[in-house]
Amino acid sequence: MVKPSPSALKQYLLNAEELGNPLQVQDLAPQATSMAVEIGFGGGEYLAWWASQHPDWTFLGMELPVDCMLRAARVLQQAKVDNVRLIRGDARYLLREIFAPQSLHHVLMQFPMPWPKEKHAKHRVSSPQFAQTLADVLVQDGIFELVTDQDWYAKETAEVFAQHPDFLASEIEVQPHRPFQTRYEQKWLEEGRSIYRLVVRLLRPSHSSRILLPQPMDCFSLSPSLVGADVKKLLGSRFKQGDSVVEVKEVFAAGDGWMLRVLSSDHSFSQLFHLRIRKKKDGRCLLKVDEVPRPYYTQAVRFALKSIHQALQQGEVEVLR
Ligand SMILES: C[S@@+](CC[C@H](N)C(=O)[O-])C[C@H]1O[C@@H](n2cnc3c(N)ncnc32)[C@H](O)[C@@H]1O
């Protein structure tokens, strides 16, 4: 496991807790002229190089594994770049949810996992929804750039953008000139594979609906006479309302109350987080979202709070098992 210094983690990692309103370029760097994103930055080498080429821009990298976050934080610190932040999560949702409309100048994705089998197609980042997300968060004339070793993936992505009325796609370039190569790129070139690049430009921004709620979650008051047996009855409960689904996966005593481990889904966006029930010294009993680490605030997280509150207060909520 790569160990970056605590100062590198503090400098480069951006947490969901820090996000309030949708991000604008000024929120990351007041002096920056443009904001760019790299999806799936791997070890962060390209991001460090890219940021060093544009010191007046600000950059945000998105990745899934913790290991990539740690390795990239160390690489960025060694490269002494100070115009990059890293955020962990699935770019298909993060891109749509955390940026203000028309806030990004360039989104880059290099050697994404292509998920070639049709049964895994839902994992591919490129999709009509992704194009609509980009139509919302890119500025007019903003760029999405894909670099891949899979010709069919480049063609499929070009087709997705060709179907969207607000984008103009370039021809797919084969073996484009690239002044800096990513780790995967070096590997594929050594194996003799071809590299493909697609660049699309946004002609007209348009809106995409989002699931993140701008305001914090409420804190609910519960009966002071609540006992552990009432809380434990919630284990395995499922609640459903529209696109929000919530399931209580675990219930355990914690300090001066209990914790519920909850799985929530808004459409296909799933999160695991904790709700805390706390008996206060003044006799009150409170239910709230545990903030460390806190989930992204969505309709399903709000629904989890409301339905569990109601279930504990009245037992009247329909519980699907
Ligand atoms: C084949 S690696 C390429 C890494 C790097 N771009 C390079 O060229 O060396 C693909 C990377 O994309 C990341 N990735 C895949 N799906 C993602 C998603 N939905 N959101 C963010 N990152 C993703 C993976 O974790 C992985 O590190």
Cβ(118)–Cβ(171) below 8 Å = no
Which among 233, 222, 230, 307 is positioned nearest to 264, based on CA atoms? 307
pLDDT of residue 42: 98
Report the pLDDT averaged over residues 11-32: 87
Is 23 in the same domain as 170?
Answer: yes
Residue 52 included in any domain: yes
Tell whether 124 and 47 lie within a shared domain: yes
Do 275 and 263 form a contact (C-beta atoms < 8 A)? Answer: no
pLDDT computed for residue 21 by the predictor: 78
38 Cα nearest atom in ligand 1 = 6
100, 22 contact by CB (below 8 A): yes
Confidence of residue 315 (pLDDT cuts 50, 70, 90): low
Indicate whether residue 183 lines ligand 1 (CB < 6 A): yes
Compute the chain's Rg from CA coordinates. 22
Do 177 and 38 reside in the same domain of the chain?
A: yes
Cα of first residue to Cα of last residue in the chain, in angstroms, is: 40
Is 147's C-beta closer than 6 angstroms to any atom of ligand 1? no
Average pLDDT, the chain: 92
Q: What does the pLDDT read at residue 320?
A: 40
Q: What is the pTM of this model?
A: 0.85
pLDDT digits (tens, 9 = 90+) for 38-80: 999 999 999 999 999 999 999 999 999 999 999 999 999 999 9
Residue 287 is part of which domain span? 220-313
Q: Is the CB of 61 under 6 A from ligand 1?
A: no
Looking at 202, 235, 251, the residue that finishes a domain is: 202
CATH number, position 48: 3.40.50.150
Give percent above pLDDT 70 in the chain.
Answer: 97
Q: What is the rounded distance in angstroms from the CA atom of residue 76 to the CA atom of residue 296?
A: 26
For the cut 70, the answer to whether the pLDDT of residue 317 exceeds it is no
Same domain for 165 and 306, yes or no, is no
Ligand 1 atom at shortest distance from the alpha carbon of 91 = 20
Q: Indicate which residue's Cα is closest to atom 10 of ligand 1.
A: 112
- How crowded is residue 126: how many other Cβ atoms within 10 Å of its Cβ? 23
> 282: which 2 tokens?
């003044």
Query: How far, in Å, from the CA of 110 to the mean position of ligand 1?
Result: 8
As for how many domains the chain has, the answer is: 2
Q: Is the CB of 90 under 6 A from ligand 1?
A: yes
156, 171, 202 — which closes off a domain? 202
Of 202, 233, 258, the residue that ends a domain is: 202
Let me know whether 135 and 54 are in one domain: yes
Gap from CA of 112 to ligand 1 centroid (Å): 5
* Length, in residues, of the chain: 321
- What tens digit of pLDDT does each residue of 91-149 get? 999 999 999 999 999 999 999 999 999 888 888 889 999 999 999 999 999 999 999 99
State the helix-helix crossing angle for 66-79 and 45-53, rounded to 10 degrees.
40
Please report whether residue 265 resides in a domain: yes
- Position 1 scores a pLDDT of 63
Residue-wise pLDDT tens digits, 253-274: 998 899 999 999 998 889 999 9
Which of these ranges, 144-153, 154-163, 219-228, has the smallest mean pLDDT?
Answer: 219-228
Report CA(254)–ligand 1 centroid distance (Å).
37
Record the tokens describing residue 74, joined without a space.
């160390």
Alpha helices in 1-127 (DSSP H): 6-12, 25-28, 45-53, 66-79, 91-98
